[in-house]
Amino acid sequence: MFSKATEYALRAVIFIAQKSSEQEKLGLAEIADAIHSPQFFTAKILQKLTFHNQVISSVRGPNGGFYITDAAKQKSVKSIVEVMGDGDLFDKCVLGLNRCSEKNPCPMHDQYKPIRVDFVTLFEHQTIEEMAQEMNSGSFFIRNEESS
């Protein structure tokens, strides 16, 4: 549904929210390993997420790394999707038609409409902090394991 970059961004932000603070920053390698993403790709994603401290923050240097502020933890999960450029998925036709609307519906429009409302509501009301807290319960995971 989302681009691979957005999927990794969601995982990275949840991990950073779970494990970092302004005093304890995380390095690129640790984040990439935690979400099972290539370091170069993770670096590009983190660069996008840190632009103007939109979602996460970073500090350069020997004691540097990535972290998330308490204020940023209160942002919705939808904000991550929007920063990554996939926000249009919340409004898009399920069949990908650009003219689909109430007046000009696709064959799935009426059935998909309530699903879309639930989908948008989920992403708007779930905060980054809530996702991190769920991870702390130990019942959830954010890393795909390699198959043997």
Per the domain annotation, does 30 fall within a domain? yes
Q: Which residues contact 7 (CB under 8 A, 6 or more apart)?
A: none
Per the domain annotation, does 148 fall within a domain? no
Domain count, the chain: 1
CA distance 44 to 48: 6
Per the domain annotation, does 146 fall within a domain? no
Closest CA to 80 of 145, 1, 139, 9: 9
pLDDT digit string (tens) for 61-97? Answer: 888 999 999 999 999 999 999 999 998 888 889 898 9
Residue-range definition of the domain harbouring residue 60:
4-136
CA distance 28 to 44: 11
CATH number of the domain within which 35 lies: 1.10.10.10
Residue 55 has pLDDT above 90, yes or no: yes
Per the domain annotation, does 143 fall within a domain? no
Residue 140 has pLDDT above 80, yes or no: no
Per the domain annotation, does 76 fall within a domain? yes
Per the domain annotation, does 131 fall within a domain? yes
pLDDT digit string (tens) for 94-125? Answer: 898 988 999 999 999 999 999 999 999 999 99
Per the domain annotation, does 117 fall within a domain? yes
